[in-house]
Amino acid sequence: MAKSIEVDNLDIYYGDFLAVENVNVHIKAKSVTAFIGPSGCGKSTVLRSLNRMHEVIPGARVSGNVRVDGQALYAPGVDPVAVRRQIGMVFQRPNPFPTMSIYENVLAGNRLNAKRMGKSEADDIVERSLRGANLWNEVKDRLGKPGMGLSGGQQQRLCIARAIAVEPEVLLMDEPCSALDPISTSAVEDLIHELKSEYTIVIVTHNMQQAARVSDDTGFFNLKAVGEPGQLVEFNPTTKVFSNPDNEATEAYVSGRFG
């Protein structure tokens, strides 16, 4: 069951520093939503606040409302660990666990959560997740080898397999292709298309073509001014953002006439 996410008046702080101001977004279930914008304008910060990974950084906090299928994410009594079990995340740099084999890496989420499972069930999860991440054919003969031995693109798909192995409701992707070559990028994009049928996906990207290719809705972030917090300038269906955006700055950015 994929979930929708509702963000209202979200302000995000690092200590006293207001990083992102007043974000309002409605992310639809079973769709791909892309965040684009220049570096340092808070795309990743907003993304991390959607599964409470933001607060892992000391001093970081948020104010405002994030609701996942109507449940407030930042209400008192919400367990961040439980949130993260339902909202998975793929990071910019591939980060497989160096002490684990490919097989163990895929199962890490289940194993680390002390879930007991039989051998056949575990094999099933590994195969399903690796197939889902388009990696099965490349690694099926060496599941026992260390995950760090794979190439960068394979490692990133391994991390995606690891994220979908725990069957989250929502998948957050923070520039998942920025360290990948075009072929791996295309594999990950195909994967996003397939995953869309089961998951809600939010992706941060610097690659506007990628946003145009994979996403249904696009949010454009920008700094208000130098030294001011970042903000969500425009949020619209991708086709509209790339053909006829409401905002002048958005048009300048997507057409490459920025600044």
Q: Which two tokens stand for residue 88?
A: 């998975």
With binding defined as CB under 8 A, does residue 74 bind another protein?
Answer: no
Q: For residue 23, give Cα distances in angstroms to 10, 42, 49, 66, 164.
A: 5, 10, 11, 10, 27
With binding defined as CB under 8 A, does residue 85 bind another protein?
Answer: yes
Question: Minimum distance from CB of 155 to another protein (Å)?
Answer: 11
Question: Minimum distance from CB of 58 to another protein (Å)?
Answer: 6
Question: Minimum distance from CB of 68 to another protein (Å)?
Answer: 14
Question: Minimum distance from CB of 198 to another protein (Å)?
Answer: 18
Look up tokens 């995340």; give the residue.
89
With binding defined as CB under 8 A, does residue 114 bind another protein?
Answer: yes
**CA–CA gap between residue 100 and residue 80 (Å, rounded):** 25
Q: For residue 154, give Cα distances in angstroms to 187, 194, 234, 256.
A: 10, 18, 34, 31
Out of 13, 35, 74, 91, the residue judged to bind another protein by CB under 8 A: 91
Question: Minimum distance from CB of 186 to another protein (Å)?
Answer: 24
Q: Which two tokens stand for residue 36?
A: 């684009």
Q: What angle do CA 100, 103, 108 make, to 5 degrees?
A: 60
> Which residue, 100 or 241, is less far from another protein as judged by CB?
100
Question: Minimum distance from CB of 128 to another protein (Å)?
Answer: 16
Number of residues counted as binding another protein (CB under 8 A): 33
**CA–CA gap between residue 26 and residue 243 (Å, rounded):** 21
* Part of the chain binding another protein (CB under 8 A), chosen from 32-40, 61-69, 160-168, 202-210: 160-168
> Which residue, 96 or 132, is less far from another protein as judged by CB?
96
- For residue 138, count CB atoms less than 10 angstroms from its CB and return exposed for 0-12, middle for 13-18, buried for 19 or more: middle
> Which residue, 97 or 136, is less far from another protein as judged by CB?
97
DSSP H/E element including 128: helix 119-132
Catalog residues that contact another protein under the rule CB under 8 A: 51, 53, 56, 58, 81-86, 88-89, 91, 93, 95-99, 108-109, 111-114, 145-146, 148-149, 159, 162-163, 166
